[in-house]
Amino acid sequence: MQLNRQRLLHDTLRRYLRRQSVPHLGRLLQKTRVTDLAVVLSSFAEKDQHRVFERLPDAATKADLIVHMQPPFGKRVLDPLAAEEAAAILSEMATDDAADILQDLEEAQRDKVLELLDTDDKEEVEDLMAYGDDTAGGIMLPEFVALPADTTAEEALIALREKADDVEMANYIYVTSAEGQLLGVLSLRKLVTAPPHKRIRDFMETDVIAVSPETDQEAVAKLVSDHGLLAVPVVDEAQHLLGIVTIDDVIGVLEEEAQEDLLMLAGAGAPVMIDEGFFTHVKNRFPWLLASCGGGILSAMVMGAFESTLAAHHFFALFLPIILGMSGNVGTQSATVTVRGLALGQIGQERKVATLRRELMIGLSLGLLYAAIVGAVAAVMSDEPLDGLAIAFSMACGMMLASTLGTAVPLALSRLKIDPAVATGPFVTTSLDLLGVALYFGVSIPMALALIG
């Protein structure tokens, strides 16, 4: 039913925008849930997004919309605003969100806006901006509920009642020493169900799962997801509690990382929002194509060395696309399965050899299957059945080689601590084209010709 509601919001919004009916638009926005608006708006053209943003009732709603839209939106609407207005909007956000958005702004605007924030907010935001973008420090929220260990359950509930407005997500209560060191954690559920006069030290969980501010965000997300947590505390080396990473940030991280793997494997480069500029896209896709272009030129040269064969037996050229294409496809399949298996932690040290062996066998089976089909077609098309044999032989070897290489390359890269998602694609497809051409013209065709001759 929410989907219908969003559909309705979408259509109404479009109608008001087209008719330029400002009062209607204002009234609609007043009663719309911001999260619905964010979903609907993300498919609108930029200038319509701006028009809607301008008509939002207040700074708090604008802040809320920015947080729920995909990243470049915040930069796009805040950069052109007067610094005072941008600062008013950012003050309405949780500090971690404000820090993320500020980081994206033009430098001049960022400096002006920072100066206009409250001293407290300014300090917290600057602290957060100092951590790397992809670390626990960069995504943590520096606001949380921390109480001393001798608080009773009842006192804790009262304390929570006073604080709850300030804190984005109080699903856990952290128990700290006088020096702010993390001693234990308590879920809100456990607190609510505890006898009122019991001290929290007596029922808190002391074996706390925590991360350091430098922990990679992907590791944090995996931890939260593996252990079914709603938040994870971030502590420094002396165990001082610095902030918490909440589950909604984790969902964002998981989506980002899956996206990254997918685009990297397809050679489309680092994830770029679909509404980034044209040149960013071109620049992102250029490198993989360069690798592939280099490989292609080498293939042409290798084939050039066999030009006399090609001149005398041009029939073989007809089947080059299918041999290279099928090898490339099998190699991509194996590479994708392996990269994801590594990312999900399913291929540990113990499984590497087994994985390689299994993929080799899969490549060989599929290779033999398709070699039979294509070889038969080639034998029928040619006057010489042995031509079909040469083509089938190339195909079976090529496909087996492809699945082996497609598996071995990501395994080797992960061993060398290089992200397999980044380098596997270009390396595998380029090498396969080159190997395929060499195998075909250097081994299979000469072999068939020798048999015929």
The minimum distance between CB 311 and a second copy, in angstroms, equals 5
The minimum distance between CB 110 and a second copy, in angstroms, equals 26
Q: Which of 128, 175, 265, 401 binds a second copy (CB under 8 A)?
A: 265
Closest CA to 100 of 133, 77, 78, 58: 133
Q: Is 110 in the site for a second copy (CB under 8 A)?
A: no
Closer Cβ to a second copy, 116 or 254, answer by number: 254
The minimum distance between CB 114 and a second copy, in angstroms, equals 27
**Binding residues with a second copy: total (CB under 8 A):** 125
Q: Which of 4, 178, 278, 383 binds a second copy (CB under 8 A)?
A: 278
Closer Cβ to a second copy, 3 or 178, answer by number: 3
Q: Which of 60, 94, 188, 449 binds a second copy (CB under 8 A)?
A: 188
The minimum distance between CB 83 and a second copy, in angstroms, equals 29
The minimum distance between CB 89 and a second copy, in angstroms, equals 19
Q: What is the DSSP letter of 114?
A: H
Give the C-alpha separation, 342 to 218, whole Å: 13
The minimum distance between CB 315 and a second copy, in angstroms, equals 8
The minimum distance between CB 84 and a second copy, in angstroms, equals 29
Closer Cβ to a second copy, 179 or 207, answer by number: 207
User: What is the torsional sign of CA 242, 246, 251, 254?
Assistant: positive
Span between the terminal Cα atoms of the chain, in Å: 73
**Contact yes or no for 378/388 (Cβ under 8 A):** yes
Closest CA to 316 of 381, 397, 401, 400: 381
Closer Cβ to a second copy, 55 or 281, answer by number: 281
C-alpha distances in angstroms, 113 versus 79, 98, 118, 221?
10, 11, 10, 31
The DSSP line for 241-283 is: EEEEEEHHHHHHHHHHHHHHHHHHHTT--S---TTS-HHHHHH
Q: Is 198 in the site for a second copy (CB under 8 A)?
A: no
Closer Cβ to a second copy, 109 or 382, answer by number: 382
Taking contact as CB under 8 A, which single stretch among the options 28-36, 108-116, 119-127, 134-142 is the one that binds a second copy? 28-36
Closest CA to 268 of 84, 77, 422, 46: 422
The minimum distance between CB 370 and a second copy, in angstroms, equals 6
Q: Is 270 in the site for a second copy (CB under 8 A)?
A: no
The minimum distance between CB 211 and a second copy, in angstroms, equals 7
Q: Is 398 in the site for a second copy (CB under 8 A)?
A: no
CB neighbour burial string for 177-206, b if at least 16 within 10 angstroms, e if fewer: eeeeebbbbbbbebbeebeeeebbeeebee
* Interactions with a second copy, residue window 374-393 (CB under 8 A): 374, 377-378, 381
Q: Which of 315, 386, 438, 447 binds a second copy (CB under 8 A)?
A: 315
Q: Which of 178, 238, 311, 416 binds a second copy (CB under 8 A)?
A: 311
Taking contact as CB under 8 A, which single stretch among the options 82-90, 105-113, 124-132, 190-198 is the one that binds a second copy? 190-198
* Interactions with a second copy, residue window 217-246 (CB under 8 A): 219, 222-223, 225-228, 230
The three-point CA angle 133-416-409 to 5° equals 105
**Contact yes or no for 432/401 (Cβ under 8 A):** yes
Give the C-alpha separation, 151 to 161, whole Å: 14
Q: Which of 213, 233, 243, 295 binds a second copy (CB under 8 A)?
A: 295
Q: Is 349 in the site for a second copy (CB under 8 A)?
A: yes
Give the C-alpha separation, 357 to 39, whole Å: 45
The DSSP line for 289-317 is: HHHHHHHHHHHHHHHHHTHHHHHH-GGGG
Q: Which of 22, 282, 451, 452 binds a second copy (CB under 8 A)?
A: 282
Give the C-alpha separation, 262 to 391, whole Å: 33
Q: How many residues does the chain have?
A: 453
Q: Is 93 in the site for a second copy (CB under 8 A)?
A: no
The two tokens of residue 94 are: 């949780």
The minimum distance between CB 310 and a second copy, in angstroms, equals 5
The DSSP line for 331-398 is: HHHHHHHHHHHHHTT-S-GGGHHHHHHHHHHHHHHHHHHHHHHHHHHHHHHSS-HHHHHHHHHHHHHH
Q: Is 348 in the site for a second copy (CB under 8 A)?
A: yes
The minimum distance between CB 318 and a second copy, in angstroms, equals 4
Q: Which of 54, 58, 84, 275 binds a second copy (CB under 8 A)?
A: 275
The minimum distance between CB 319 and a second copy, in angstroms, equals 5
Task: Determine the angle formed by the axes of helices 107-116 and 83-91, rounding to 10 degrees.
Answer: 60
Q: Is 328 in the site for a second copy (CB under 8 A)?
A: yes
- Classified as helix, coil or strand, 215 is coil
